[in-house]
Amino acid sequence: MSTRTTRSTATFASSFRLKGVDELLPPGTYQVETDEEGVEGNERTVFRRAATLFYVPTASGTRVCTVDPDDLAAALAADSR
């Protein structure tokens, strides 16, 4: 089974919350990684999302949190209003 990773950023203008992250997060740009697993079919391989990782900077480095991509999209949409 093949796996692929897509890297992107999420930029917030205001403080926000995400399920899976305990504290209120400050505005800024955050790194996001989406891991997908390949599912081989008869004629081609399709990919399904396996995990979305959200990187939160801390005083001692970076903490990686697994988040629901729908929650992340909702937080970004709420921030843009």
Q: Please state the domain count of the chain.
A: 1
Question: Structural domain of residue 49, as residue ranges?
Answer: 3-79
Q: Tens digit of pLDDT for each residue in 21-70?
A: 889 999 999 999 999 988 887 777 788 888 999 999 999 999 999 999 99
Among 68, 74, 75, residue whose Cα is nearest residue 34: 68
Among 18, 2, 1, residue whose Cα is nearest residue 65: 18
Is residue 1 very low, low, confident or very high in pLDDT (cuts 50, 70, 90)?
A: low
* Distance in angstroms (rounded) separating the CA atoms of residues 32 and 46: 21
| pTM, to two decimals | 0.85
